[in-house]
Amino acid sequence: MVALVATVVYLWPVAYGGNSGIVFVAGESMLPTYTSNDVVLTRKQDSYAVGDVIVYTIAAGDVGAGHQIIHRIVGGDGVSGWVTKGDNRKYPDSWHPINSQVLGRVAHSAAIGGTLRSIFVLLLAPWVWALAAMAVTFWIAWTFLAARDAEAEDVSTADAAVIIGVDMIPEVAGGGNDGIDPGRCPYAGTARCATCTTRFEDRRCA
């Protein structure tokens, strides 16, 4: 379960506040590095550099606004805008994305098709990530409550051991059990006595 939670956290999409993205390659602009239908996993970075393959969103107002592009950085910077170009293109892109438009740098890629592609498409659905978030939240809450109950049980066991242990105190010279009356609950007359639910058949509770 821990591994599953770690995987969900690692793959949590940028769109929902995470640092990862899953993108399908379309077209031939990145040949031979990536081919159409390859799937890439991106990771959000604090900074990018020339040579990085990034995925960015075309800014509103530009031709193709909202579409995602996977190309390599060949110049520029994240403030004034990166210069990007497809590995199979002669000229750079007309768009110059800034860091806020970059979804991430490509970290992993794989060539897939058919059933696997359908599975990845399913994983991109918002409801899948909503269910994953619920599962992680439930697991964390359950783990916390289980640990709290176990701690409470340990404390109760320790308290019972103290009470039961009173009768086991050896007699000392002069008589008595070192000042403790074996016929009387050791918590009698204390604050603990008021909340105690234990009753002894052979000793007094007050």
Residue ending a domain, choose from 124, 150, 169: 124
Structure confidence by residue, pLDDT tens digits, 190-205: 666 666 655 554 455 5
User: Which range marks the domain in which residue 32 is found?
Assistant: 2-124
**79 and 13 in one domain?**
yes
Pairing of strands 102-111, 53-57: antiparallel
**140 and 115 in one domain?**
no
Residue ending a domain, choose from 124, 154, 173: 124
Residue 112: its pLDDT value, please? 72
**54 and 11 in one domain?**
yes
Q: Does residue 49 lie within any of the structural domains? A: yes
User: Is the pLDDT at 108 greater than 90, yes or no?
Assistant: no
**163 and 66 in one domain?**
no
**70 and 8 in one domain?**
yes
Structure confidence by residue, pLDDT tens digits, 63-105: 999 999 999 999 999 999 999 999 999 999 999 999 999 999 9
- Provide CB contacts within 8 A for 20, sequence distance 6+: 10, 11, 12, 13, 14, 41, 42, 43, 44, 104
Q: Does residue 188 lie within any of the structural domains? A: yes
Pairing of strands 38-43, 53-57: unpaired
Q: Does residue 187 lie within any of the structural domains? A: yes
Q: Does residue 205 lie within any of the structural domains? A: no
**155 and 110 in one domain?**
no
Q: Does residue 204 lie within any of the structural domains? A: no
**111 and 9 in one domain?**
yes
**59 and 107 in one domain?**
yes
pLDDT level of residue 128 (50, 70, 90 thresholds) = low
**Partners of 83 in the β-ladder:** 75
**149 and 62 in one domain?**
no
With H, G, I as helix, E, B as strand and everything else as coil, classify residue 65: coil
Residue ending a domain, choose from 124, 146, 172: 124
Please tell me the pTM assigned to this model: 0.56
pLDDT level of residue 137 (50, 70, 90 thresholds) = confident
Q: Does residue 119 lie within any of the structural domains? A: yes
Scanning 99-189, the segments in alpha helix (DSSP H) are 115-123, 126-164
Structure confidence by residue, pLDDT tens digits, 141-190: 877 777 776 666 655 554 554 444 444 434 434 444 444 555 566 666 66
Write down the number of H helices and E strands in the chain.
Answer: 4, 6
Q: Does residue 203 lie within any of the structural domains? A: no
Rg (CA), the chain: 33
**182 and 87 in one domain?**
no
Residue 102: its pLDDT value, please? 96
Residue 73: its pLDDT value, please? 97
Structure confidence by residue, pLDDT tens digits, 19-38: 888 888 889 999 999 988 88
First to last CA, the chain: 50
